[in-house]
Amino acid sequence: MTVKSYLGRGAAMHVEIPVFRAKRSVYVSSPWISPYYARKLVELASSGVRVRVITSDEGREQRESLKIFRDALRPRRRLLGLIRDKSW
């Protein structure tokens, strides 16, 4: 079995294709995730792939990414605060 490691800012280009082609699950552990990748991971989760993320909460852009994740987790609500999707 071959194991490859990629470090630093350019690491994303080496793992992007396999991650976004995942059919079952994706596990991401990174101290920093850009808003672009946060949206891509949310899209992937919306398509039925199980996505788990471990990250930090430091930095302005990182807070934007965390907001993207948080908003994706909250159920959509109607006018009076009623939850639209009954699966919640």
Cα–Cα dist 86/22, whole Å: 27
| CA distances (Å), origin 46, targets 1, 17, 39, 49, 79 | 31, 18, 10, 7, 24
Range scoring the smallest mean pLDDT among 4-8, 19-23, 66-70, 77-81: 77-81
Q: Interior CA angle at 56 toward 36 and 49, to 5°?
A: 50
pTM for the predicted model, two decimal places: 0.70
Query: What residues does each domain of the chain span?
Result: 23-73
pLDDT in tens, 11-58: 777 778 788 888 999 898 888 888 999 999 999 998 999 999 999 888
Q: Are 38 and 69 in contact (CB under 8 A)?
A: yes
